[in-house]
Structure 1
Amino acid sequence: MFETSSIPAELLADITSVSKSTLLKWEKSRKIIPVFNVVTNKKEYKISDLLHFEEIRSVFAQDPELKANITKSLRDFNSIELFAGAGGLAIGLERAGFKAIALNEFNKDACRTLRINRRHWNVIEGDVKNVDFTEFIDIDLLAGGFPCQAFSYAGNKLGFEDTRGTLFFEFARAIKEMQPKVFLGENVRGLLKHDNGRTLKIMKSIIYELGYTLIEPQVLKAIFYRVPQKRERLFLIGIRNDLVRFADFKWPDPHNKIMVLRDALKAGDLYPTDVPISKGQVYAKRKKEILDLVPQGGYWRDLPDDIQREYMQKSYFLGGGKTGIARRLAWDQPSLTLTCSPAQKQTERCHPEETRPLTVREYARIQTFPDDWEFSGSLTSQYKQIGNAVPVNLAYAVGQSLVSLLNMIDIGQSSI
């Protein structure tokens, strides 16, 4: 029934979105019962004892064959993508059955990345403000991860024109000019509470003003969708009002296995071979000496106290866990969320065995890019492109749900 019989504490915390201190409280109340793994010397929990958690049931207690069903598109659905970056979202949507008509991106290196990998893609390089979308009328899907920005408030209620100057305005302008059947917006989960929730509230009102029904925004955890990384993204899906009566959107079901770093870097379920050798950043001499002392899965608090003080300096006396500092990843856990640089002090992503930052291809695999996807630009630029991307497998899962939605809309329209 299960891919594994037990899971470590770190993974249970990730799946249920709680802290390790909450797990300890649950143990005291006997809500969960720990067992000791003599091989890893770590505390674990039997999955059979955790089925009272909905999140556990959604991942482990469903028939894998049911989850393996792939939704086939009834035709070639077309798409336009804004803020395309290095192509993580675009690859996932392509795999799901979408044909990219055009992709807009401002960054020159990211545009070169898109072009060298998909020579047939129409990559519109430049500021989105200068793109005329009226030539793409009635497109099937508009997608894009617009940055989260605050609005300038002239009053209590803002309309479409009042948000001019933000990148959300440009995304909304594309909706207005193209009138896509469906749109997909992707953002950080912080958008839910940004400016005390007012930013999202205004976005919702503008989407309504444009003639679209917004599915309640959902935060999806990448670890549920064959991504070996603790990344969370907020997705907004809107359906044109005249098509809502044909639509019954369903968010993607979690995969029946949680992928970990080993799945990304070694041959197995995700990739047929070990990760290819590639370039990567390096640590300075003293930094490497210090990180040599960090155990697998550990961070700065696992260092001797005198080394902690040396490495953390004034931060040593401040509160907070700062668990990303001097962090060495572990083979049997998903990676922490990738950032734009694996070597910076606040966001270190050290290889589980070798004392070095993750390489470019290791970064790409954790984001589930294919090994033949090339990245253009300097090493720093490549890390940034990968770190900012939507994980390919997460994009594919969402793309499958969008294909099902558009299939329903097509069938509904044809029956009139």
Structure 2
Amino acid sequence: MIPDFYSIAQVADILSLSKETLRRWDNNGTLVPERHPENNYRVYHRAQLEKFEQAQLLFNSEWDKELLIRPKRPYQLIELFAGAGGLAIGMERAGFESVLLNEIDKYACATLRKNRPNWNVIEGSITNVDFKPYKGKVDILSGGFPCQAFSYAGKKLGFEDTRGTLFYEFGRALKECSPKVFMAENVRGLASHDDGRTLETIRSVLSELGYSVLEPRVLKAVFYRVPQKRERLIIVGIRNDLANKAEFFWPSPYRRIMVMRDALKKGDLYTCDIPESDGQKYPKRKAEILNFVPPGGYWRDLPDNLQREYMQKSYFLGGGKTGMARRLSWDEPSLTLTCSPAQKQTERCHPEETRPLNIREYARIQTFPDNWEFQGSQSQKYKQIGNAVPVNLAEAIGRSLIRLLNDIE
């Protein structure tokens, strides 16, 4: 069911604009909200948004049709840099069978083994993993290689010149097991790193290894049933001998944007309210100050004397610093989670209670199932969750990859 009315926050998310831009459009007549017939709030009607391409994608979504995609046969998956399993759970739900997962972090490996004892988890550096036994036996290679910068020395880099980087190891795995398809994911910043040259090098190396590389795309998790403004760059490639047999279709967006209420309360996303969990605590004075921040607010919403105390020298610097003293709002998605909920630059305070988000709240915002148990210390758990690919985003991409492999078959 697609709603008829949208708040300024929802429209900002749908159109990937700031609320300030929408207020400016309101003032200059570009896009003027109307009064809601029941509560008199200022809202936008669906009809006003239909001229925007992003809104059209939402309103004309094929999400329900794509939910029916099933693999024609069991497709075999190798996943690199697997972390705590966000990508792997999503791919499993889409219909893939994992034959190998590699991860160097021992706590993340413990998490994978705890929840999926049957998975073949290879702990340790990828440099020590031999992928040749899997040649011709896997359908897809996936993973998010951590992106170290390349040094160019004024020449176009080939595969061998990326030695010593984790991207080289991804390429080596691709070369050794020769899957039909690969899917690499990374931070949005990779698209613009070194004026786009880093991504161009990555694409040319993947092409050199025998793959037709599609135009990479930044996917916003909020469009795929994830209550979080996280963005990931996705790179998909099809082995050259198969590239003309099928076309890859990017996943359709879900019909609405999920928000913090969806993450922490019973509803469309979860069948019960959030379970109890441990989490970080604020020092006494910090909690006293953050008590003054309203839902959706940040340091600018504090009284001036508290702004000065909290921000110290930063008070006099330019820039919005909108992550500082930030309290999340029930009616908006979470900001991107980091490896800790109480870092000063990227504060993630609970919408109602004055405390950092706890472990289970973090996990729900990344759409992990409630029964997925993280191993290690509290800080290790936050780190694993903060680094993960949101499960629902991974599942949506996974369905598109299943569809591609079905067509190749």
TM tier relative to shorter chain: over 0.9
Q: Tell me the residue number matched to 1:95.
A: 93
Q: Deviations over 1:279-323 (max 9, x none)?
A: 000000000000000001111000001100110011111111111
Q: Which stretch shifts more, 39-48 or 374-383?
A: 39-48
Q: Quick one: percent identity of the two aligned structures?
A: 63
Q: Say if 1:328 and 1:148 are closer, same or farther in 2 by CA, change over 3 A.
A: same
Partner of 1:338: 337
Residue type of the alignment partner of 1:315: S
Amino acid at match of 1:141: I
Equivalent residue letter for 1:368: T
1:199-278 maps to which residues of 2 (within 5 A)? Answer: 199-278=198-277
Name the counterpart of 2:112: 114
In structure 2, C-alpha distance between the alignment counterparts of 1:317 and 1:6, rounded to whole Å: 40
CA distances 1:351-409 after superposition (whole Å, capped 9, x unpaired): 11100011100100000000000000000000000000000000000000000000011
Q: Distance in 2 between matches of 1:35 and 1:191?
A: 39
Q: Which moved more, 1:35-44 or 1:260-269?
A: 35-44
Write out per-residue CA displacement over residues 177-230 of structure 1, whole angstroms, 9 at most, x where no aligned residue. 111100000001111110111101111110111010001101111111000101
Partner of 1:128: 126
Q: Closer, same or farther in 2 for the Cα pair 1:287/1:136, shift >3 Å?
A: same
Q: Distance in 1 between matches of 2:145 and 2:217?
A: 16
| 1:246-282 residue CA offsets vs partner (Å, 9 max, x unmatched) | 1110000001121111111000111100011000000
Q: Distance in 2 between matches of 1:63 and 1:148?
A: 33
**AA of the residue aligned to 2:190:** L
**Paired amino acid for 2:163:** R
Kindly report the root-mean-square deviation, in angstroms, between the aligned alpha carbons of the 2 structures: 1.6
What TM-score, normalized by structure 1, do the two folds share? Answer: 0.95
> Could you tell me how far apart the structure 1 residues matched to 2:64 and 2:386 are?
32
Give distance in 1, aligned partners of 2:85 and 2:290. Answer: 33
Alignment of 1:13-28 (within 5 A): 13-28=12-27
| Structure 2 counterpart of 1:17, one-letter code | S
Task: Please name the residue that 2:84 is paired with.
Answer: 86
Equivalents in 2 of 1:42, 1:369: separation in Å? 34
Q: CA deviation at 1:86?
A: 0.2
Alignment TM-score, normalising by the size of structure 2: 0.97
Partner residue of 2:318?
A: 319
What amino acid sits opposite 2:300 in the alignment? R
Distance in 2 (CA, whole Å) between partners of 1:40 and 1:386 is: 38
Matched, 1:370 2:369: yes
Deviations 1:9-50 (A, max 9, x none): 222222212222321332234231113569999643222211
Distance 1:364 1:40 in 2: 34
Following the alignment from structure 2 to structure 1, what is the Cα–Cα distance between the partners of residues 331 and 229? 13
Which range is displaced more, 35-44 or 376-385? 35-44
Change (3 A) 1:38 1:299: farther
CA shift for structure 1 position 62: 4.4
- Tell me, in whole angstroms, the C-alpha distance in 1 between the residues paired with 2:197 and 2:145: 17
Q: Judging changes above 3 Å, is the alpha-carbon distance between structure 1 residues 384 and 276 closer, same or farther for their aligned structure 2 residues? A: same
Q: Which 10-residue stretch deviates more, 32-41 or 20-29?
A: 32-41
Q: Does the aligned pair in 1 maintain the 2:61–2:253 contact within 8 Å?
A: no
Q: How does 1:105-184 map to 2 (within 5 A)?
A: 105-138=103-136, 139-184=138-183
Deviations 1:155-191 (A, max 9, x none): 3211101000111111011111111100000001111
Output the CA distance in 2 between the equivalents of 1:65 and 1:392: 18
* C-alpha distance in structure 1 between counterparts of 2:141 and 2:307, whole Å: 48
1 CA distance for matches of 2:276 and 2:245? 49
Q: Distance in 2 between matches of 1:304 and 1:218?
A: 42
Distance 1:365 1:43 in 2: 30
Amino acid at match of 1:27: D
Question: Which residue identity does 2:275 align to in structure 1?
Answer: P
- Rounded to whole Å, the distance in 2 between the matches of 1:198 and 1:167 is 17
Distance 1:351 1:5 in 2: 29
1:41–1:187: structure 2 CA closer, same or farther, 3 Å change rule? farther
Aligned match of 1:290 = 289
The within-5 A match list for 1:298-313 is 298-313=297-312
Give the letter for the 1:120 counterpart. N
Instruction: Specify whether residues 394 and 276 from structure 1 end up closer, same or farther in structure 2 by C-alpha distance, changes over 3 A only.
Output: same
Say if 1:375 and 1:247 are closer, same or farther in 2 by CA, change over 3 A: same
Counterpart amino acid of 1:394? Answer: L
The answer for unaligned runs of 5 or more in structure 2 is none
Unaligned runs of 5+ in 1: 411-416
Distance 2:123 2:364 in 1: 26
Separation in 2 of the partners of 1:280 and 1:104? Answer: 28
User: Structure 1 pair 402/297, CA: closer, same or farther in 2 (3 Å)?
Assistant: same
> Aligned with 2:215: secondary structure?
strand
Distance 2:368 2:43 in 1: 31
User: Structure 1 counterpart of 2:329, which letter?
Assistant: A
1:95-131, CA deviations, whole angstroms, 9 ceiling, x for partnerless residues? Answer: 0000000000000000000000000000000001111
Q: How does 1:55-66 map to 2 (within 5 A)?
A: 55-62=54-61, 65-66=64-65
2:70 aligned residue (62, 69, 72): 72
CA distance in 1, matches of 2:295, 2:261: 13
Structure 2 matches for 1:360-399, cutoff 5 A? 360-399=359-398
- Give the Cα separation in 2 of the matches to 1:62 and 1:238: 24
Query: One-letter code of the match for 2:196?
Result: G
